[in-house]
């Protein structure tokens, strides 16, 4: 009797393990078949944490997203037939966030003010680097022309320094 009961438990365990593995494969297959470029028919969130919504869109689009620590708050949206990228852009513009598609293939999400400050600092750094560049001076002897005739052409080659 105990042997029969033991065999039933073993079979039940094997069936459960098989069913669990099968269902996992079925669900993961659905996720693989999903087209990240297809529009989302109905995207609706009511007072949802913004980081969770961004994470959902990143998972849906199968993209890497880095969210700045300052990005916080709640989101209420109701969008129909939009791609994950359109939804992310709409959320960014509505909630004053910069959505930056980096060349390395990931997306940065940060407050728009922080992004503007970052861009200003980069521009200042680049202009400082240009001002530190060594100037090259060339003296050219003119022949068969007057200096006034070529002065406009030469001015375009000169720097502000």
Tell me, yes or no, whether 53 lies in a domain: yes
16, 75: one domain: no
Tens of each residue's pLDDT in the chain, 161 residues:
556 666 666 665 656 565 555 444 434 444 445 677 888 999 999 999 999 999 999 999 999 999 999 999 999 999 999 999 999 999 999 999 999 999 888 999 999 999 999 999 989 888 887 777 777 777 777 778 777 778 777 777 777 66
Tell me, yes or no, whether 81 lies in a domain: yes
Task: Give the C-alpha separation, 141 to 127, whole Å.
Answer: 32
Range of the domain at 105: 40-115
The tokens for 99 are 């959505």
57, 24: one domain: no
22, 50: one domain: no
Task: Give the C-alpha separation, 79 to 87, whole Å.
Answer: 8
67, 109: one domain: yes
């Amino acid at each position: 009797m105990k042997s029969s009961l033991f065999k039933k438990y073993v079979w039940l365990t094997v069936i459960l393990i098989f069913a669990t593995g099968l269902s996992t494969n079925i669900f993961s297959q659905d996720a693989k078949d999903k087209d990240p470029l297809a529009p989302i028919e109905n995207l609706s969130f009511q007072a949802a944490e913004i980081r969770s919504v961004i994470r959902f869109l990143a998972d849906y689009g199968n993209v890497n997203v880095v969210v700045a620590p300052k990005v916080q708050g709640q989101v209420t949206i109701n969008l129909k037939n939009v791609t994950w990228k359109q939804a992310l852009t709409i959320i960014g513009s509505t909630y004053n966030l910069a959505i930056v598609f980096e060349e390395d293939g990931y997306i940065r999400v940060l407050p728009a003010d922080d992004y503007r400050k970052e861009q200003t600092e980069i521009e200042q750094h680049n202009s400082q680097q240009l001002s530190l560049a060594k100037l090259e001076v060339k003296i050219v002897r003119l022949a068969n022309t007057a200096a006034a005739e070529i002065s406009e052409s030469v001015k375009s080659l000169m720097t502000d320094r």
